[in-house]
A and B are shown apart, each in its own frame.
Chain A
Amino acid sequence: MTVARFWRKIPNRYNLIGTHCTTCGKHYFPPRTMCPTCRRDGKMEAHKFQGKGEVVTYTVIHTAAKGYEMQAPYNLAIIKLDEGPSLTGQVVCGQEEMEIGMRVRSVFRKLGEESEKGMIYYGTKFVPE
């Protein structure tokens, strides 16, 4: 991912800022410019999530994504935030601790890196609450 592409979403990635539609009241993360429920009638505003939620499902990835080789095996989960939306993120804990339904909270962490000289991605991961 290029610097500009990563940089423009830094507030969302670092601080878990998504969007809230004031028309229907739904929350969205990742952020959206258009409400999928209200479409053009929706009015979107930035919303900072509390970062607490539960694991809907998970996996332990052994064959890593490009740039994440050094971290394997790592836990990847779909997490449903208490405000409603679900997102994909890593859970930092032992594999044996992972469980569907477990409570987690967000933490600021290094996500990955492109190479020794390349960009380092920071963002949000989760830990058991």
Chain B
Amino acid sequence: MRDVAIIGIGCTKFGELWDRSFRDLFVEAGVSAIEDSGIQGEEIDSLYVGNMSGGRFVEQEHIGSLIADYAGLASTLNVPATRVEAACASGGLALRQAILSVASGYDNVVVAAGAEKMTDVGMDTATDALAAAADREWEGIMGATFPGLYAMIAKLHMHKYGTTSEQLAAASVKNHHNGTMNPIAQFRNEITIDTVLNSNMVADPLHMFDCSPISDGASAVVVVAADIAKKYTDTPVYVKATTQASATISLHDRADITTLDASVVAGQRAYKMAGMTPDDIDMVEVHDCFTIAEICAIEDLGFFKKGDGGRATEAGETAIGGRIPVNTSGGLKACGHPVGATGIKQAVEITEQLRGTAGKRQIDGAQVGMTHNVGGSGGTAVVHIFSRNR
């Protein structure tokens, strides 16, 4: 397998972008990634796009062809384009497929993109489309919602480890603070613990401010064989690990409801592939679709002991300047969560950090970063480790 590097990144603003269409968004993200990389369209060997539910959100399938077409890569260049779907992990998985196609030696230059346009439908349709990431026949039909599933994780985490609502809220407060420093973030306002605790209860114990929003947005990265990366940029970001793990689609079939087995296994595989440990990671973008998801992620990825994530978050250990900065982008909570785009946006953020171009969010001396993207309640997890050094 060949080494692979990221040489270009692009991201639209995330948010409720009522004046922008699905195709407007991915063209903007793709063009900015290509411009950032300095490649020409003729050099692109293939395209992978993460998209969870074009069919439900914009009544559009065949996303690969659409994207290639509107990116100007279909009519004369006929670039192969593949849509990748793993619910909210679609973006991370599209990136993984792009990396694998380069690593295998089949392709040299590949664009990985992610896009979701969620506000063209009403809130009830959007919520129901997201519920399709769980088992429709045996969770959804019983009245389970996505916040409801994560609420059950939170309830047991509190019961077993003494995690508090204030500790959950601290993750949201920290992510909102980070979001204030990110120009693409959906929410760029500070909030307090009371903002979270006084917001509407969605599914006990999760309040509205424990939940990531419905968002529109797109993001893209250009990956190339590491041997040719320096031809395009002085600051390539090298892929040290790309891993993925599956677990049961239903939350109720997990041995421990408070552990996302897919995250644990994908994380272990990533550390092994990179020859690293959690201590080598300078910052991590984790999948905080809900505050409890961030708490579980930092435990499952080995940064904190199981049950210690809430306390550590409350103590500021995951803030910028803390022991292991988590979600410097603002995470899904504040940066926004256009589901198909999220996994790619995480890689964009880590690339910014490793290039040293993250502005006020910059982690001093960042050398190695990790991304963690989850589908559903943990049926799929995708983990990447990136480094400044090959």
Residues of A within 8 A of B (CB): 1, 5-6, 9, 30, 56-66, 68, 71, 74, 76-78, 85-90, 95, 100, 111-112, 121, 123
Contacts and interface: CB of A to CB of B under 8 A. Distances in A.
Contacts of B43: none
Tier of interface size on chain B: 35 or more
A74 B143 CA distance: 9
B201 A112 contact: no
Contact of B137 (A9, A56, A77, A112): A9
B284 interface: no
Nearest to A80: B252
A95 to B, nearest CB: 8
Contact of A78 (B147, B159, B252): B252
A63 B155 CA distance: 17
A111 B202 CA distance: 20
Contacts of B135: 30
A71 B143 CA distance: 10
Contacts of A59: 148, 151-152, 154-155, 203-206
- By secondary structure, the A interface counts as strand
A123 to B, nearest CB: 7
Task: Tell which of B137, B153, B204, B252 has the most Cβ of chain A within 10 Å.
Answer: B252
Given A56-B257, A59-B151, A89 B156 contact: no
B87 to A, nearest CB: 17
* 3 pairs of A and B residues whose beta carbons are closest in the complex: A59-B151, A57-B156, A60-B204
A50 B131 CA distance: 29
Contact of B159 (A5, A57, A87, A112): A57
A123 B128 CA distance: 20
A112 B143 contact: yes
Contacts of B139: 88
A86 to B, nearest CB: 4
B227 to A, nearest CB: 42
B142 A111 contact: yes
Contact of A88 (B155, B204, B251): B251
Contacts of A1: 136-137, 141
B143 A57 contact: no
16 contacts: A1-B136, A57-B257, A59-B155, A60-B201, A60-B204, A63-B203, A71-B143, A76-B144, A77-B152, A86-B252, A87-B138, A88-B250, A90-B142, A100-B156, A111-B141, A112-B141
A35 B41 CA distance: 49
A23 B159 CA distance: 36
A89 B152 CA distance: 12
A88 B142 contact: yes
A2 B205 CA distance: 33
Task: Tell which of A78, A88, A111 has the most Cβ of chain B within 10 Å.
Answer: A88
Given A57-B153, A78-B257, A88-B250, A65 B128 contact: yes
Contacts of A90: 142-143
B277 interface: no
Contact of A76 (B138, B143, B206, B253): B143
Contact of A100 (B155, B203, B205): B155
Given A61-B204, A63-B145, A63-B203, 14 more contacts: A56-B252, A58-B152, A59-B154, A59-B203, A59-B205, A61-B145, A62-B200, A65-B145, A76-B143, A78-B251, A87-B138, A89-B142, A112-B141, A123-B142
B140 interface: yes
Contact of A62 (B142, B144, B204): B204
A76 B139 CA distance: 10
Contacts of B155: 57-59, 100
Nearest to A69: B124
